[in-house]
Structure 1
Amino acid sequence: MLRIKHLLFGTLVVPLGLLLTACGNQKVQTQPVTKLALVKSGQTARPRIWYHVSQAQNQVTANSAVNGIFVLQKGKATTYMLPTGKQPISLKQLAKMSTAEQIRWAKNKDQEAFHTGVTAQQAQTANNIAGIKSDLKQLRRTNGEPSQIKALQQYLKINQAIHDNPSSYAAPIAYPLTAVSQAHSEQFGLKLYPVKTVQYGDANIITASELSLSNYNFNHRIQPDKIAGHYYGGYSSAINAHHYFMLTRVTKHTRIVYDRQKSANIVKTGTTD
Structure 2
Amino acid sequence: MSPSTPLVSVRWLEEHLRDPELRLVDCRFSLSDPLAGRAAYLSGHLPGAVYLDLEADLSGPVRPDRKGGRHPLPEPAALAQTLAQAGIGDETFVVAYDEPPAGGMFAPRLWWLLRWLGHDKVAVLDGGITAWNEAGGALETPVPTPPKARFTPRPRPEWVVDAEAVAHRPAGTVLLDSRAPARYRGEIEPIDPVAGHIPGALNRDWLEAYQPSGRFKSPAEQQARFAGLEGEVIAYCGSGVSASVNVLALELAGRPAKLYAGSWSDWVSGSRPVATGDQP
Structure 2 length-normalised TM:
0.22
Structure number with greater Rg is 1
| Structure number having the greater helix percentage | 1
